[in-house]
Structure 1
Amino acid sequence: MTTATSRHSGRGISPVFLGIVAVMAVTGWAVWTEFSASTGLAVFLFVTSAWVVSLCLHEYAHARTALHSGDISIGTKGYLTLNPLAYTHALLSIVLPVLFVIMGGIGLPGGAVFIERNRIHGRWKHSLISAAGPLTNVLFAVACTAPFWLDALDGVPPVFQYALGFLALLQVSAAILNFLPVPGLDGYGVIEPWLSYKIRRQVEPFAPFGLIAVFGLLWIPEVNGLFFDAVDAILRGLGVETGFPGCGLDYYRFWQGTPEACPA
């Protein structure tokens, strides 16, 4: 009876998440129709809400995979409701990634759902749990760029194309960063089950600082340039023209005024 309760409780979709989706839908419509007097503000709200939705889905993917891998405690923690306020570190999972989008236009990996790994047996399961989150970002990037690689842009307003391009950039950058084999990131979680106990013990103290180290490296101009060259190459491969994500970022920063180099 306890097991059934643990497996099936806390699965209804949170009103908080539904509210964020509603904001995304309404502001996306405002960008498409140029309904808002401030197109930049509409882009800001659309991209931010869509980014938060992707973060919620990222964490949900971790939680759902963990549930099916053996951690039946997941349901009682509220992770399956898609409520961002239920995460172990709401600040790390939602607030910081949004702030870094505003400040640097980069998809910083989100934080954390607490998974009871001792309930899960099998290295492949542990690796899949870690990979599930960034794979969600990959799928989100594919969805955002679908109008580009399907050559279905006829009738799509330019500003909406810019917004999709910038949102795709966030998803691609988040996927790349998350898949880095750095302690504290999902990429390390993928390979960790295959490492020796000795190596895992040696690396464990550095896990809290992995994300900080990666972010610090991105402040180095040469590293930053190489990173965004890789992101741009992937986006071009998905049909997104060079300059579209940058125009999306320019509109996103509506407080700087309407970008003259990016026609509406």
Structure 2
Amino acid sequence: MDFLQKLLWYPIEDFPFIMITLVVAFTLHEFAHAYSAYKFGDHTAYNAGRVTLNPAMHLDVLGTILIMIAGFGWARPVPVNRGRFKSPRLMGIIVSAVGPLSNLLIAAVSILAVYVLNETGLLHAVSYGVQSAVIHLLNYMILINVLLFIFNLIPLPPLDGYRIIEDLAPQRVRIKMDQNAHWGMFIFLLIVFIPSLREVTLDPLFGLSRPIIYWFQDLYELVFSPVDWFGFQRIVDR
């Protein structure tokens, strides 16, 4: 068991909470891509059965396993034909952006759920075991979705951030990007799997998760009222 834990990014006892989080995060992320492309006139994803909230259509086995091992992962990419959009660049940017934004929305709703539970005292009315389960699940809903939001905006293929930059770039730059996309994938893999590179690239980026979480906390307290964020110190401790 100790050997297995050394291979994993997250505690093995939290596996059920992480899997629930990943099912929600990956499913809504890919559904957002597919649905927005469909509404903009591209039926490619719809014909492939991807405009659905059925997790089985979106989850990727390797991508799900890697998030347990390396702290990052992916779902099955949604096929998109930008040539079918009325405004290919603008609509392409929106289709690419709604995936990461869906993860940010899940995190925001989860933080709001924490606020409501604290404000209403609902967790005090249940057993310690239920309290612990709810806290663990919401912790991971917040953390993993914020990390996925940040991760997917990195401008390297095959991530959404790359597609956004590609659609923003002039035609001559887009051609160069397409010609060198394979090098982008190589750089991406080096950054992910070489610890020294990861420490100066991904780790500082992932460090932005705390300011994002704090911002939502402060926003809710500003709009509603101050609250003690009990039970969530692991993620939101200042």
Query: Please, what TM-score do these two structures have when normalized by structure 1?
Result: 0.65
Query: Structure 2 CA distance, aligned partners of 1:65 and 1:80?
Result: 9
Select which of 187, 190, 214 maps to 1:236: 214
2:186 and 2:16 map into 1 onto residues whose CA distance is 27
Label 1:178 to 1:119 Cα distance change in 2 as closer, same or farther (>3 A): same
State the one-letter code of the partner of 2:234. G
Q: CA, structure 1 residues 164+212, in 2 after alignment: closer, same or farther (shift >3 Å)?
A: farther
CA RMSD of aligned residues (A): 2.8
- Do the aligned partners of 1:217 and 1:224 also contact (CA within 8 Å) in 2? yes
Q: Does 1:60 align with 2:38?
A: no
**Structure 1 residues without counterparts, runs of 5 or longer:** 1-39, 88-92, 247-264
Closer, same or farther: CA 228–118 of 1 in aligned 2, 3 Å: closer
1:115 to 2:80 alignment: yes
Shift of 1:174: 0.6
Match of 2:3 in 1: none
Does 1:45 pair with 2:16?
Answer: yes
Does 1:185 find its partner at 2:150?
Answer: no
CA distance in 2, matches of 1:207, 1:86: 27
Whether 1:136 aligns to 2:102 is yes
User: Deviation string for 1:64-121 (max 9, x for gaps)?
Assistant: 111111113432210113345545xxxxx522332232113x3434341111222113
Cα gap change, 1:229 to 1:222, in 2 (>3 Å): same
Deviations for 1:104-161, whole angstroms, at most 9, x for unmatched residues? 3x34343411112221131211111111111111111112222334444734313421
Deviation at 1:166, TM superposition (A): 2.2
**CA spacing shift, 1:225–1:53, aligned 2, 3 Å:** closer
Residue 154 (str. 1) matches residue 121 (str. 2) = yes
For 1:69, which of 40, 43, 46 is the aligned residue? Answer: 40
When residues 170 and 149 of structure 1 are mapped into structure 2, their CA distance, relative to the original with a 3 A threshold, is same
| Distance (Å, rounded) in 1 between the aligned partners of 2:179 and 2:233 | 40
Q: Distance in 1 between matches of 2:15 and 2:215?
A: 26
Which letter maps to 1:112? P
My pick for the range that moved more, 178-187 or 148-157, is 148-157
Work out the percentage of aligned pairs sharing the same amino acid.
Answer: 25
**Alignment CA distance shift 1:97-1:235 (3 Å):** farther
Change (3 A) 1:228 1:176: closer
State the number of aligned residues.
Answer: 200
Residue identity in the other structure for 2:28: L
Q: Is the 8 A contact 1:107 1:169 kept in 2?
A: no
Number of the residue aligned with 1:255: none
Structure 2 gap ranges (5+): 1-11, 124-130, 218-228
CA distance in 1 between counterparts of 2:120 and 2:61 reads 33
Out of 196, 201, 209, which is 1:223 matched to?
Answer: 201
